[in-house]
Amino acid sequence: MKYFKISLLFVLVFFYNANASNEVYFSEEGNKTCITSNGTPNHGIGQFPSKGNPHSFKAQKLKYCFPTNPVKNNFSNSKAKTVGITITGIPIRPGTADWYDASSPRKHSKNQSSGWNLEAITPSGNVFGIDLNNAHVDKRGLYHYHGMPKKLSNYNGKSLVGYAADGHEIHYVGSIQQSSWMIKNGQRKTPPFGDYDGSFLQDYLFKEGSGSLDKCNGGLLEGKYVYFATDTFPFYPRCHWGNVSSDFTRRGG
């Protein structure tokens, strides 16, 4: 195993504030690059438990490895729900495992029978207790991002924010790149009914050419194919064109 100890990203990094102490390092293992961290971001986190989120934050050792030289296939896949890892070692999981469920007191559960998969970031309210950096914790106390965190914008003066499960870079360039996903017109035909408003994954439709990015939120940056984090849905790649590492598909992400 080879550890990087040189400038910028490939270095053991510590950030301190009132709530967090971030520890992260990169290593090479064969044909893969690995990011290991203590699961603690480089910024303060929201107060957990909170309304919509009954869990407490817990620092924990995380390790995600991905292809050092990613490929771009002619077909995409949606194997990984943990779609990437930030350069600060925090998992990226834009989707949720909760579905509309009229029989549940919370009106959502893990029962998929309704066909309506809730989104974490919506215009209709903060259902899951997302904090100011578009993240929250799961039942294990694992802090993870559903949207772009402010503290990674222009990090170290660069647009790179992380790496996808297939090894392609993830960048954030603000409104320079636009998603090609849009909210459907009309109303839902089954419960919970109502207008399509972005509360559910199924409220969205990919319309090629409506933005600058492909269906996996990818495009070219200085001649290289990368994925982009965007301020609008899908927020991060929800699919991958490359070969996804098993670290991102394991149970619990």
DSSP, collapsed to helix, strand or coil, labels residue 77 as: strand
Say if 101 falls within a structural domain.
no
For the chain, the domain total comes to 1
| β-bridge mates for residue 225, sequence order | 220
Mean pLDDT of 103-110: 95
Say if 120 falls within a structural domain.
no
Average pLDDT, rounded, for the chain: 92
| β-bridge mates for residue 171, sequence order | 160, 228
Domain span including residue 240: 1-94+126-185+209-253
Mean pLDDT of 218-244: 98
Say if 116 falls within a structural domain.
no
Say if 151 falls within a structural domain.
yes
| pTM of structure | 0.91
Say if 28 falls within a structural domain.
yes
What size, in residues, is the chain?
A: 253
pLDDT tens readout for residues 148-206: 999 999 999 999 999 999 999 999 999 999 999 999 999 999 999 999 999 999 999 99
State residue 74's pLDDT score.
Answer: 97
Say if 233 falls within a structural domain.
yes
Say if 165 falls within a structural domain.
yes
